[in-house]
Amino acid sequence: MLIRLNRYLSMCGVTSRRKADRLIEEGRVRVNGEVVRDLGVKIDPELDIVEVDGKEVKPPRKRYIILNKPCCYLTQLGRSQSGKKTIEELIKDIPERVFPVGRLDYNTEGLLLLTNDGELANRILHPRYKLPKVYLALVKGRVTEESLRKMRKGTELEDGPAKPDSVRVVRYEGKNTLLEITLHEGRKHIVKRFLASFGHPVIKLKRIAIGPLKIGKLPPGKWRDLSPRELRQLFSAVGLKYSD
Ligand code: URA
């Protein structure tokens, strides 16, 4: 696939597209050994060799990571204005600039996917692919069979209807209940709002799976690369083909 030279330079992390145009005009960019000054030039990233100031530039390696986000970290990169900790400090040993796909609340734990693959990220977030997300929710009160039946039918929240794919009691913990709830949407605070609307406010929330990805035994605060098998399953779940 052919792409504009300035786009390629920004994809490789050299600079923004606009500043890339300046580099091109200044004659600092070569394609297959020839200086190129035409801003409209397109290149084939698979075939053409692009250099800036005599150094070859290549797109960064695609990274796909899952992080077990601990409680009390913001799902954002960089520093937070409030001084709260952000997930940035948990992934600072990853050289590529990876971005979180979706978010978890400050006090929610669990599976967060991070990648620098924009196409995959867009598909995962797109409602068309309906990737199920599984949560363990410790809620206040003992959830009865009757409440579970009502939850399964769904309810109307202030921003529209909400219906889980499934919900079940894992166990009772004293006066509280540990639920496993699966939803395939990502509205803000959806699990907390849904369960609170049935009179069971969430005490603790953890995401344990997104589509084929499971948090497993990954300790809180740690990340790992996805395996080729997980990548094949994830790509196929959103209608893409993974080739390693
Ligand atoms: N639903 C919530 O309420 N919070 C989260 O962090 C994720 C889903």
- Express each pLDDT in 65-87 by its tens digit: 999 999 999 999 999 999 999 99
Q: And the tokens for 44?
A: 């084939």
**Is 132-210 the same fold as 3-56?**
no
Q: Which of 44, 48, 53, 105 is catalytic?
A: 105
- Express each pLDDT in 216-236 by its tens digit: 999 999 999 999 999 999 999
Query: Atom of ligand 1 at shortest distance to CA of 193?
Result: 3
The pLDDT score that the predictor gives to residue 4 is 96
Fold designation for 3-56: 3.10.290
Res. 2: pLDDT tops 90: yes
Residues of the chain above pLDDT 70, percent: 100
Residues 151, 141 contacting (CB under 8 angstroms): no
CA of 59 to the centre of ligand 1 (A): 34
The pLDDT score that the predictor gives to residue 127 is 83
The pLDDT score that the predictor gives to residue 194 is 98
The pLDDT score that the predictor gives to residue 130 is 86
CA gap 60, 115 in Å, rounded:
11
Res. 244: pLDDT tops 80: no
The pLDDT score that the predictor gives to residue 243 is 84
- Is residue 159 part of the annotated active site? The answer reads no
The pLDDT score that the predictor gives to residue 8 is 95
Classify domain 64-128+213-237 by CATH architecture. Answer: 2-Layer Sandwich (3.30)
CA of 216 to the centre of ligand 1 (A): 19
- Amino acid at the residue 95: P
CA gap 194, 162 in Å, rounded:
7
- Helices 118-125 and 228-237 pack at an angle, to 10 degrees, of 50
CA of 195 to the centre of ligand 1 (A): 11
The pLDDT score that the predictor gives to residue 123 is 94
> Looking at ligand 1, which residue's alpha carbon is closest to its atom 2?
189
Q: Which of 68, 72, 185, 190 to mutate to test the pocket of ligand 1 (most atoms within 8 A of CB)?
A: 190
Residues 22, 5 contacting (CB under 8 angstroms): no
Res. 102: pLDDT tops 90: yes
Q: Provide the 10 A C-beta neighbour count for residue 95.
A: 9
Residues 177, 141 contacting (CB under 8 angstroms): yes
Q: pLDDT-based confidence at 157, cuts 50/70/90?
A: very high
For 205, half-sphere exposure in the C-beta direction (CA atoms, 13 angstrom radius) is 23
Classify domain 132-210 by CATH architecture. Answer: 2-Layer Sandwich (3.30)
CA of 189 to the centre of ligand 1 (A): 4
- Express each pLDDT in 28-66 by its tens digit: 999 999 999 999 999 999 899 999 999 999 988 999 999
State the sign of the Cα–Cα–Cα–Cα dihedral 62, 66, 70, 73.
positive
Q: Provide the 10 A C-beta neighbour count for residue 36.
A: 16
- Amino acid at the residue 195: L
| Structural domain spans, the chain | 3-56, 64-128+213-237, 132-210
Q: And the tokens for 113?
A: 């996917």
* Strand partners of residue 176: 173
Q: Which of 192, 193, 204 to mutate to test the pocket of ligand 1 (most atoms within 8 A of CB)?
A: 192
